[in-house]
Amino acid sequence: MTEELAKGLDGILVAESELSSVDGQIGELIYRGFSIEDLAKHASYEEVVYLLWYGSLPTEAELEHFSGQLAEARRLHPDVLLTLESLADADEDPMAALRTGVSMLSAYDSEASYTTGDIEASRKKGIRILGKLPTIIAAFQAYREGREPVEPDPSRSFAGDFLRMLSGEEGTPLARETFDMALILHADHGFNASTFTSIVIGSTMADLYASVTGGIGALSGPLHGGANQEVMRMFRDIEDSDRGPIEWVNEMQERGERIPGFGHRVYKVKDPRANILEAKAAALAEEGSEDRYIGYAQEIESHLTEMGLVEKGIAPNVDFYSGVVYDQLGIPFDLYTPIFALSRTGGWIGHVIEYQEDNRLIRPRARYIGPTEADFAPIDQR
């Protein structure tokens, strides 16, 4: 009897996890029992990472200690900065630069490999990795702009200091709050491709740097991490054209093209994270940020909903509004996916730690469909 083939592992259960749950039928996302709406409204990114790694929300004292550790870990070794400067000079892709920078961090961590499997040591290592990601991205961008990186300030929040290091400016309270919320929304999302990649690497008991580097590599693919850039590319093309948003997407549909930011492998209704980001984009517009792209997004969503796309299970996902928000915050277009990685690293590390507590090497099989009776010929007879 031929075994059923599950291409892409669709519907295959490979592990159990307490970190996050996605119900695509009703549009629900929870982290360890807490709704994404409650966490986005009331928590900080540091609190959410603590929740994912330790299993509960921190007390005030625990949060202060954890946030302080993350903040103190932001500073980069001079050699890493030199490498980032070289990559910027070579016009390297930002995700590739991030991947290289994270991989290089292990050279300056005396506990990079030999503590694998020790949960508390892995958490400490995770702090050293996650804490440095904002600085890597901001420093790379500074070098691309021909200026020296802004030094990290451990007295500031994770989200707030990143925005300051990236632009050299404080940013408004709403901007810092919005970016912190965006990090929360992207922190975890079940066994997606990059999370599963990190877990597969972790299942070999490789060090945490390898798992995070692998996650970044998986996220760099356009089918996973680059969708918000495709949305913004569409909006910019609309802006540069002589056609309105509705006419533009109608023409895309007539050509049989997929509308960027619509549809999801899991969600059959509107992504709950999209609702939250849409509201923040509107709030930023009211405060004075650019509002043309939020207008495009809402007009297209309304039109496609009226056309029955949502009824068919093709609804706006988080990427439909995340790029709009990043644009309003003044974040460069090609840093959207590195920021996704910055946020999702909290989830990757949490999953690797959880999986290694009851580790089993992940080793699936493939069905062989090649020849079975090939005759070998010596090289002089081929």
Q: Which residues are catalytic?
A: 224, 264, 319
Sequence-separated (6 or more) residues with CB below 8 Å from residue 363? none
Residue 260 CB neighbours (<10 A): 23
Within 10 angstroms of residue 2's Cβ, the number of other Cβ atoms is: 5
Tokens in use for 156? 């500031």
How many angstroms separate the Cα of 208 from the Cα of each of 65, 126, 254, 282?
Answer: 22, 7, 47, 38
Nearest Cα residue to 20 out of 227, 205, 204, 272: 272
Q: Could you tell me the sign of the dihedral formed by the alpha carbons of 29, 34, 37, 41, in that order?
A: negative
**C-alpha to C-alpha distances, 206 to 13, 159, 220, nearest whole angstrom:** 23, 29, 21
**Side chain identity at residue 314, one-letter code:** I
Rounded Cα distance between 354 and 334, Å, is: 32
Q: Kindly give the pairing relationship between strand 20-23 and strand 28-31.
A: antiparallel
